[in-house]
Structure 1
Amino acid sequence: MSDTPARLLKLLSVLQSGREYTGPELAERLSISPRTVRRDIDRLRELGYPVEATIGAIGGYRLTAGKAMPPLLLDDDEAVAVAVGLRRAAADNISGIAESSARALAKLEQVLPDRLRRRVGTLQRATVPLTVGPTGAVPAPHGEVDADTLAVLAAASTKGEGLRFGYRGKQGAPGARHVEPFRLVSTGGRWYLVAYDRDREDWRSFRVDRISEPRPTGVRHPARELPAEDAAAFVAEGIAGPRARYRAVVTLFVPLAEAARRLPRGAGRLERDPDSADRCTLITGGDALDWLAVRIALLEIDLEVREPPELVEFLDAMGRRLTRRGRRRPLPPRG
């Protein structure tokens, strides 16, 4: 291998696996001499890569953590993943993180090849983040999301092109779907595709980790009006709203405007109280009764749960348990 830069990149790629390689192993993998291996290791060290060498009959080389971070060697999927993660972090209003993420993203995009820059841009334009607080409904991560699947869904969403794909429902039964994709929604734990289901003639949100073999139809569809403020609100309503397994009706003893200000996005739907301007109604829900109870209990607003009865009973029992556990009991004297 006579191309020194390409040889150094190949050597770095091998060392980034984390294991230790002997000089002869590296020489064989790179088709070079042991002397060239030693010379290239020295070049990597000059560039700032912390390559450690062990001495002895079975000694070798490995890449260790350094004090400063030299340039990274990323494959296509890794580069896209890092760029998307930085974009999402830059959009969050977290002190010290958003600005740093934006700077890092700008540096990364300068060195991304055009094909990857377009891929990242398409995914970003098609994605709406959903971030809610303790009364919201961000689910825990579940299932792996394929990067190529995300790319296909994002491209179809931005182009307004129909999609067909296999889908595994809640009960695990596979089925086929024909949809008009609208937007992707990322919750930090899961990805959802918001789309108009052609067969069911209604809007749906699909978990991306349950989608398989998405195929663009090649047919463009006219824009439809989403029955929600945006794609994130539509997904939030599906997770914590009236379409959830448990539907909760809660009276909030604050005016509607104050409730709207204090509730996080995706907590549920607010309605005016026809009898009093000093209170309002929250319509929310969830697929798990215990998690729904915890979300409502964490809401720092005076309230009364009106339905369902099983939620009222669960909250009463939870309150009694917490009261008992919160009482201080004297420790027994030491023998």
Structure 2
Amino acid sequence: MSRPTARVLTLLELLQSGGTRTVAELADRLGVDERTVRRYADHLLDLDVPVESVRGRYGGYRLAPGYRLPPLMLSDDEALAVLLGLVAGRRLGLATEAATAGETAAAKIRRVLPARLRARLDTVLDTLALTAPGGAEPAAPDSAVLLTLADAVRHHRPVAFRHTAAGGRATVRTLHPYGLVVHSGRWYVTGALVPGGEDRTFRLDRVAEARTLPGSFSPPAGVDPAERVLTGFATARYRYEVVLRIAGSVEEVRTRLPASVAVVTKPPAARDGEPTDPDDPAGWLHVELHVERLDWLPGVLAALDLPFAVERPAELRDLVAALAGRLHRSALRDPW
């Protein structure tokens, strides 16, 4: 959008707030001279916006009484896509100027949406958590499912839905939902199954026919839906359970083994703020992960460039030794 057009729309926003605005005030807010303000007012008149000129010492411009912009004609899917794009950009670390522009744009869109749709979209935004972006192919959920689950999260209502597992088996689940999470391009709902209270996380692109149920529940104090989803990935059942000891900080380990891959716990000394001693294995970090294959781990551990020890499985020790041997032979090889 060109700057003059943006300023004309900003002028309309200022006049929409009500009352009479002096030309001097508008010029100051828009960063232009008073003659330009008058030209912008003429542009609004050309667009059939009823801008009135008020004469006198405290004169200026105002909108005709009773004038309001008509509701923005967006479908649920369209409005959800626009607002989620703006909010996701802000939460995932856009530059400050771009994030501010996204925030004001979202506010403008919300203001002209029908009240029913605005309330439902606010529910989604208030219940949404986002993790760091990843490389997975985006999998968009059904908007009706997303809006229903968001409403259940906000109002602590049980929800029932049909879930199709990766193998194609469909089941009906009842959940006390704690939150919605977007991770690596995919949407998830996390909560406790009913009955039984088992912690579960479901991909929304595998969920259909969601509906809220009578009653309510109290979520656990301090529950963090994003952390629950990431921990679920790190502790999922795979072929190998890997246990490591690493001498370094949590931040250093996370550069190669993120929360969605590994669970990292600190020894008591590290929790008290004492630095890790590379010569004292008792102070090393405890790292656990569940993987289907081991062949990628030796390279990751080498890239960490930190002292480490493999507690289990023994196969990983063999793979690390094999990589070390290859690197040693390469270092000694004559480059011709």
- TM-score by length of structure 1 reads 0.62
> Does 2:230 align with 1:248?
no
Q: Cα deviations across residues 26-85 of structure 1 (Å, max 9, x unaligned)?
A: xxxxxxxxxxxxxxxxxxxx98xxxxxxxxxxxxxxxxxxxxxxxx97533112111012
Name the residue aligned to 1:115: 116
Contact 1:168/1:174 (8 A) holds in 2: yes
Distance 1:319 1:240 in 2: 27
Q: CA deviation at 1:144?
A: 3.9
Shift in CA distance, 101/298, structure 1 to aligned 2, threshold 3 Å: farther
Among 134, 141, 144, which residue is 1:145 paired with?
Answer: 141
Q: Cα deviations across residues 78-130 of structure 1 (Å, max 9, x unaligned)?
A: 12111012112111234354334323323332332222321221001111112
Distance 1:326 1:153 in 2: 56
Among 284, 290, 307, which residue is 2:289 paired with?
Answer: 284
Local SS of the residue matching 2:214: strand
Among 183, 190, 199, which residue is 1:187 paired with?
Answer: 183
Q: CA deviation at 1:145?
A: 1.4
Matches for 1:252-331 after TM superposition, within 5 Å: 252-254=246-248, 264-273=258-267, 276=281, 278-287=283-292, 289=294, 298-299=303-304, 301-313=306-318
* Ranges in structure 1 where 5+ consecutive residues have no aligned partner: 1-45, 48-71, 133-137
Distance 1:153 1:90 in 2: 23
Q: Cα deviations across residues 288-324 of structure 1 (Å, max 9, x unaligned)?
A: 5566666656545443443334444555667778999
How many residue pairs are counted as aligned between the two chains?
255
Shift in CA distance, 292/278, structure 1 to aligned 2, threshold 3 Å: same
Name the residue aligned to 1:165: 161
Name the residue aligned to 2:75: 75
Shift in CA distance, 111/216, structure 1 to aligned 2, threshold 3 Å: same
Letter in 2 for 1:250: L
Q: CA deviation at 1:215?
A: 1.7
Distance 1:163 1:73 in 2: 30
Shift in CA distance, 113/330, structure 1 to aligned 2, threshold 3 Å: farther
Distance 1:110 1:141 in 2: 33
Letter in 2 for 1:187: H
Letter in 2 for 1:247: E
Name the residue aligned to 2:209: 213
Shift in CA distance, 259/165, structure 1 to aligned 2, threshold 3 Å: same
Local SS of the residue matching 1:194: strand
Local SS of the residue matching 1:193: strand
Distance 2:304 2:253 in 1: 11
Local SS of the residue matching 1:282: strand
